[in-house]
Amino acid sequence: MTVTEHAPTAALVDRFVTGLVPMVPLLAVWAHGSLATGDYQPGRSDLDLVAVLSRPCSPEEESGLTLMHERLGAAVPLAAKLHCGYVVTTELDDPARPHLAWAHEEVTHRPITPVTRRELHEFGLVLYGPPPATLLPPVTDEELAGFVAWDLREFWRPLLDRPDLWLRDIWVDAAMLTLARATVTLREGRLVTKHRALAVLREMGAPTRVVDDIERRRYARPGPAQDDGWPTLRAELTVAFLASEIDAVSGRSRA
């Protein structure tokens, strides 16, 4: 599904971009992730956007952006899924540099990662201004592989020691799908959608109940109700699988 196939999402994105134009020195707005790849699931998938600016926002402009996001979230429930990074065009050449962003209904700072950059080049949906290739430096296969290996090793692996996280759907889904997508990138040098990542997890021998659980929640696949002990069992199965696979990836990437 694309943004134009779901009227409420299309209306939200149009309202958001229209609001940005007079508020900040806007050069472009692009969509990546599920919205750009055709894997978008209304109400389940995030709306991942990048806004390119000609200069940094002033404090007043930052306050205006925050207010706009808050008002949009209050008026349109779907806006809770809308995330946007605000990057100055002169800073696009540094994948590690954090930029102003709105994510998970709050102001934060985060980088435009090599994975996001590659997604923008391959699938990026232009919502305003020129396409990504005109402003965004390309990502080499080596840079992409290096980042996904680092992300598994340095970000995800330490989190396996946080048992509280793995009782939550969002962490199970994100980690398992990230692992599968990273595995394909490291093996074949390409990106795959989250839907394809579910099949990859099955090919990797991931716990069937965990993969079925993710698929059911993300794609409304019918299945039996889980018992009260499922979150704890799911956490145990997920952490054990992730630890084994991430350690294997780390060993190969350092070899």
Do 54 and 19 meet the contact criterion of CB atoms below 8 Å apart? no
Lowest model confidence (mean pLDDT) among 3-7, 57-61, 193-197, 220-224:
220-224
The predicted pLDDT at position 223 comes to 58
CA 166 to CA 235: how far, in whole Å?
Answer: 5
For the chain, give the mean pLDDT.
93
Give the Cβ contact number of residue 228 at 10 Å: 6
What was the pLDDT predicted at 255? 56
What is the 3 state secondary structure string of 113-139?
CHHHHHHHHHHCEEEECCCHHHCCCCC
What pLDDT score was predicted for residue 6?
A: 79
Q: Which two tokens stand for residue 125?
A: 């949906």
Position 219 scores a pLDDT of: 84
Average pLDDT over every residue of 121-147: 96
151 phi-psi bin (left φ>0, alpha ψ -120 to 50, beta other): alpha
> According to the model, what pLDDT value does residue 227 have?
76
Nearest Cα residue to 145 out of 181, 193, 199: 181
Share above pLDDT 70 across residues of the chain, in percent, rounded to a whole number: 95
Using CA atoms, how far residue 119 sits from 49, 95, 122, 200, in Å, is 11, 13, 5, 19
Percent of the chain clearing pLDDT 90 (strictly above): 84
**CA–CA gap between residue 68 and residue 55 (Å, rounded):** 19
CA 244 to chain centre: 23
Identify which of 80, 109, 115 has the alpha carbon closest to the alpha carbon of residue 9. Answer: 80
| Alpha-carbon gap, residue 84 to 102, rounded angstroms | 5
State residue 253's pLDDT score. 64
DSSP assignment letter at 79? G
**Burial grade of 114 (CB within 10 A; 0-12, 13-18, 19 or more):** buried
pLDDT at 220 over 80: no
Edge-to-edge strand list for the sheet holding 106-110:
106-110, 99-103, 82-88, 47-53, 26-32, 125-128
Condensed to tens digits (0 to 9), the pLDDT of residues 27-68 reads: 999 999 998 888 888 888 899 999 999 999 999 999 999 999
Task: Output the CA–CA distances (angstroms, integers) from residue 14 to 10, 31, 197, in the order listed.
Answer: 6, 12, 30
Amino acid letter, residue 169? D
Write the pLDDT tens digit of every residue in 13-22. 999 999 999 9
- Residue 109 pairs with which residues in a beta bridge? 100
